[in-house]
Amino acid sequence: MKFNLSNFLFEVYNIDLEQVTAFENFYFEEVSGKDIYEFDSYIEKFIKTNPEYKDLNYIDFVNAANTRYENSYISDYYSLFIEELEKKVRKDIVNICKFYIDTQDELNIKEIIEVNKFDVMNNIISFKGKNEVDDFASIIINCINGYGTFHYDNLEDFYYVNSVKTMSDKIDTVEGHLHWLKYFEEIYGTMYNIFKKDFSDLDRNNSLGDYDFTIDDLEYTL
């Protein structure tokens, strides 16, 4: 079973991948050359390799370094964001399965579902399990019933109301109801913080970005 990854992340985690790297989400303070480690030495080496830039003003190199930092920071942030997000999604899917395998008075699922592919490049997320479509539907039904707006007695009831006739219909119906998963913690309040993720401390070590400007950075600022 596979879904559109962007849709899955937005419906379940309220994450818009296109907005993650939006420049307005970041705040950068421009630094001077004296605040960049061994900056003068870096300029010296750069000019030796690229002598056509030897007549530029010092501030041009400073501007290029700041540009480099901003772009490299956002790129590093996105890479780390995706890495942490994938780990979180994989963990959440397994944990929610364990929860419903052990829980009474709910539509129980039979087996653990796992994320098979988390493919940002091709915008695909896929899942594997012995009966992952019906089990995923059962998880969603439990969230719907727990939230209380609607109620389904069983899988057959859910599929009937949604006019499901084929396996493709089942998958489309599950994908069309993914948004109910975001209410899981509101309903159950577990220790796992399932489908919730705080990225505010992603760069807690201040290790992202660098000032090693390239010709492209320099040309961009000129």
Q: Six-digit token pair at 85?
A: 């997000």
Report pLDDT for 105: 67
Residue with tokens 């220790």: 191
Q: What is the mean pLDDT of residues 64-87?
A: 96
Q: Which of 129, 147, 134 is nearest to 108 (CA)?
A: 134
Q: Give Rg (Cα) of the chain.
A: 24
Burial class of residue 25 (count of CB atoms within 10 Å of its CB; 0-12, 13-18, 19+):
exposed
Q: How many CB atoms lie within 10 A of CB 182?
A: 17
Strands, E, within the chain: which ranges? 2-4, 114-119, 124-128
Q: What is the mean pLDDT of residues 52-78?
A: 96
If phi > 0 it is left, if psi is from -120 to 50 it is alpha, else beta; for residue 16 that is beta
CA distance 143 to 150: 10
pLDDT tens for residues 188-219? 888 889 999 888 888 877 889 999 999 999 99
pLDDT tens for residues 99-109? 998 776 678 88
CA distance 177 to 61: 52
Q: Six-digit token pair at 178?
A: 């993914």
